[in-house]
Amino acid sequence: MRNYRHIEVRPVAGALGAEIRGVDISRDLETDVVAEIRQAFLDHLVIFLRDQTVTPHQQLAFAGKFGEPMAYPQLKGLPEAPMITAVVKLEHERNNFGGIWHSDTTYLAEPPMASLLLARELPPYGGDTLFANQYLAYDELSDGLKATLDGLVGVSSSAKADVTRTREDRMKAAGAEPKVMMAEHPIVRTHPETGRKALFTSDAHTSHIKGWTEKESLPLLRFLWDHQVRPEFTCRFRWQAGSLAFWDNRCAMHNPINDYHGFRRVMHRVTLAGDRPR
């Protein structure tokens, strides 16, 4: 296990995830502290910080130490901080935002590097988030299947029915018109910082394999979608007000659990710009 001099890092599961202690993100952090947080982020794929009392601008300032904040393509941000998207489920709503296993907005040519989600209002129970390690998902495939996947390209779409349904309440409330966006990415991508290979497909966004029909694609894709979220590849995070999750969109998927009907849940998300998957 890596030694950290400035922060305390406590893994939360064998597959991925670690809680970071001794950091107040409302403060101007020293360069060495920021460097260790980034290393923990790369080592554990998703990191969690508890008890953070910050303004939207302080959340943005912290996020900006690790990348370039970008706007969410489907919804406007907060009036006072346009690069922060409110992720909301209200008491009368049945669908939650992004309530399916996914990597964020892979229908963009350059999907995000990472997201930072801060809990503002929470239900009295439920609303946990699952995360899945896509390095492990790739590593556990047979050599024969790895060879089959080499060079295959997935076509991602913003219009797949399940994920569109999870956005529709927010888009209606904002008066937004949905736009269909599509992009092509390798089914297996190489992480630009660690050099490790990870599965990069999801039921939420991948419509088919390039050059294959949807009917031909689905048996292989469905196997991968089931495989990549096996329990031993995952961790589960129980939110508290002031909790921050910071995950690597290039090698980790997430799934917010929709088990709190009748209650309000309000989160603030900053998304960091990424590069074209290779």
User: Cβ atoms within 10 A of the Cβ of 230, count?
Assistant: 14
CA distance 191 to 239: 28
Spot the catalytic one: 170, 191, 268, 269: 269
Q: Residue 215: CB partners within 8 Å, gap ≥ 6?
A: none
Of 102, 170, 185, 268, the active-site residue reads 102
Question: Cβ distance 256 to 98 under 8 Å?
Answer: yes
Instruction: Quickly list H helices, 125-246.
Output: 134-139, 143-149, 161-174, 214-227
3-state secondary structure 227-261: HCCCHHHEEEECCCCCCEEEEECCCEEEEECCCCC
Residue 150 designated active-site: no
Active-site entry in 44, 104, 167, 203? 104
Phi (first) and psi of residue 157, to 5 degrees: -135, 145
DSSP E strand boundaries for 28-94: 46-49, 69-70, 84-89
Question: Is 248:45 a contact under the CB 8 Å cutoff?
Answer: yes
Residue 76 neighbours by CB under 8 Å, 6+ apart = 82, 174, 176
196 among known catalytic residues: no
Look up 104 and say whether it is catalytic.
yes
Known catalytic residue at 102: yes
Residues 6+ apart with CB under 8 A from 227: 137, 140, 141
From the list 44, 185, 254, 265, the catalytic residue is 254
Annotated active-site positions, please? 102, 104, 254, 269
